[in-house]
Structure 1
């Protein structure tokens, strides 16, 4: 119950979930099977999830496969090492008490001391949430396998910026050197600052297998329409509210085109290697300027190489990012590696596990695990969980239909 409450309270980017919600996803997609296997998939994804991960894998279907529908796949991840949202609530309560006592002239010294302590407790604390959602319809065929894909992915972070001038003022009130007034409260400058970006995409994936010197090589491409919305949330620290984070006053959006390209080849009947480059068109979308502060969200071209081995019962996979992930210009870049495995029991049930690490050490590493239920290989229910350092938790749920 405590962990569930933490996840709910920490999702200051709850609005992202209404789109939908790397996340837990490996960057720009949510897919429960791949996420459970450490965020891999460039060489190990099923053809139905290929348009999300690597469009070249659309050619990797069986003789009985006619249609795959993912509707939906949703996931979210939070990292809140400092219990930030509760800290904002504590500051608001202490602020309101100081405001009331400063107005009537009673007990302001003790309430000022309490507010100063709450501000010091939260100073510099940060929290982060990610979310993603995906839907795809894949139609395999021998000539030109194709798929329709819609997905949304986003990230949000918040931090407490406490100024020394506020602490010095509250210290003076607490010692009795200054008698507070309502006008003084309006001059306090500590802030709650947050950034969020939400990317929505709609595309069509196609793939074809070529013969290269007697060796089969699949090539896939996903042209797409991409909308990037940024949010620059910057308010007085006592006014932080999760419901306001995606308010229109803080939003700026741009729409443009982009494209993903992938390659895949089977080195043997069990061993596959793949390469995907997502978002080949680099984009930079600025936020609104709020209280003199602005940033920009960088949609970066991201290349990932992967390899997988599978005999139908056991599958292992390894993915490594060759370039950093998309993110805000003010944030440290992240670049991931993931490893995972799946045990498939007669195509009726699956157990999965993996590990995902940021090779640049700017994000929390995490263990992943999940289960799959697929009666008659028609309806597939996949659930994934993630636990990592820095009070990091995540979940993904997915429903897939194959015919």
Structure 2
């Protein structure tokens, strides 16, 4: 843990399955058959886990963070045709000095909107998975096929653009703007920058109970093959949008997750897991490097027939793939079992590195004759996330 306690560039630990998402993103000591492969593979062999096969398909989730309404303001920029208005005003002024005020108005509007676009980046995350779980004390097994999109975008407003627009605006006020003004919208250097990863994985988790100095401990390992497509681009503002198929570059690699869990027989359990133990670096088409490094998380949970509470803690700080802020989470969650058919869950995920991305979560689970439906949502003032999954036990 000391070795991994430095800052690493990595994906946020939590995935977006409905069960854990509704409980704040906890799962290292409280995971289920459907998500143990994502949080701690050792839980597949844990002695308190019901010995049932399970299939969770589909598992879907999405997250949106846009504190400064980047895409909304960009849509406004394009809808108002600010660049076209600026060019048209200058063209009209080249033959009619009476159009000077139109140049001033168009220049002012364009400069003000550029300043509005400069701010915090927006972030996007999407998740989809199929999970087959076969828990057993001797050898628990789980297989997953999943795809995750993590990335973001920001408007890079170049100071030279603002300086040129201010120069033109000042010249209009002093009535000394040349009618042969050469600066046009196609000279703007400001761009929408987008960057992130599309990650598709095939993972096989194996877990077993072991006797360690007289204590029964569950250990697990998840070797996985990862196909990655990085995207990295710079688009002109007049036609830009957040895309995941621009500036693509394909990569592939093997990696592994490991974990351990201990059940104490009194409702308490603890766990530790390390994801992406090997780690990888991906060089994008624009020369940026995105790293997925090891992530260490500790967890503890307490369960009764009617309740469950859990807490998880990231040991190391991570930086995500696009323009996201740093993340180091402490997550707490609770579940209430109502008549074995309905479960109500609440949670809170606090980002110790950036409190603006801390969220409260809520969810419900329904279990009818082995069929499970789980729904979850999380939000703060600037962020919204939601998840849904369908599962079967047999």
* Shorter-normalised TM range: 0.7 to 0.9
Asked if 2 retains the 8 angstrom alpha-carbon contact of 1:300 and 1:326, the reply is no
2: CA distance between counterparts of 1:55 and 1:63?
A: 12
Q: Write the deviation string for residues 301-336 of structure 1: whole angstroms up to 9, x where unpaired.
A: 011110000012100000001122352497653111
- Give 3-state SS (helix, strand or coil) of 1:51's partner: helix
Taking the TM superposition and a 5 Å limit, the aligned residue runs for 1:4-403 are 27=13, 29-60=15-46, 65-92=51-78, 93-105=81-93, 106=99, 107-174=102-169, 175-176=171-172, 177-179=177-179, 184-242=184-242, 245-248=243-246, 250-289=247-286, 294-325=287-318, 327-328=320-321, 332-361=325-354, 364-376=357-369, 378-389=370-381, 391-403=382-394
CA distance 1:333–1:354, shift in 2 (3 Å): same
Asked if 2 retains the 8 angstrom alpha-carbon contact of 1:295 and 1:330, the reply is no
CA distance 1:26–1:402, shift in 2 (3 Å): farther
Shift of 1:132: 1.8
CA distance 1:87–1:95, shift in 2 (3 Å): same
2: CA distance between counterparts of 1:63 and 1:31?
A: 18
Asked if 2 retains the 8 angstrom alpha-carbon contact of 1:284 and 1:297, the reply is yes
Asked if 2 retains the 8 angstrom alpha-carbon contact of 1:123 and 1:160, the reply is yes
CA distance 1:394–1:207, shift in 2 (3 Å): same
2: CA distance between counterparts of 1:178 and 1:300?
A: 55
CA distance 1:371–1:333, shift in 2 (3 Å): same
1: CA distance between counterparts of 2:14 and 2:310?
A: 19
2: CA distance between counterparts of 1:125 and 1:46?
A: 36
Shift of 1:165: 2.1
1: CA distance between counterparts of 2:380 and 2:275?
A: 26
Moved more, 63-72 or 313-322: 63-72
The normalised TM-score by structure 1 is 0.86
2: CA distance between counterparts of 1:180 and 1:355?
A: 60
- Give 3-state SS (helix, strand or coil) of 2:34's partner: helix
Report which structure shows greater RCO (CA 8 Å, sep ≥6). Answer: 2
Moved more, 303-312 or 160-169: 160-169
> Number of aligned pairs?
370
Unaligned runs of 5+ in 2: 1-10, 94-98
Asked if 2 retains the 8 angstrom alpha-carbon contact of 1:48 and 1:58, the reply is no
Shift of 1:351: 0.4
Aligned to 1:15: none
Unaligned runs of 5+ in 1: 1-24
CA distance 1:374–1:331, shift in 2 (3 Å): closer
CA distance 1:180–1:109, shift in 2 (3 Å): farther
1: CA distance between counterparts of 2:322 and 2:69?
A: 25
1: CA distance between counterparts of 2:189 and 2:347?
A: 45
CA distance 1:62–1:48, shift in 2 (3 Å): farther
Structure with more helix by fraction: 1
Q: Write the deviation string for residues 336-369 of structure 1: whole angstroms up to 9, x where unpaired.
A: 1100100011320000001101122276111111
Q: How well do the aligned residues superpose, as a CA RMSD in angstroms?
A: 2.2
1: CA distance between counterparts of 2:371 and 2:307?
A: 21
Asked if 2 retains the 8 angstrom alpha-carbon contact of 1:36 and 1:384, the reply is yes
Higher Rg of the two aligned structures: 2
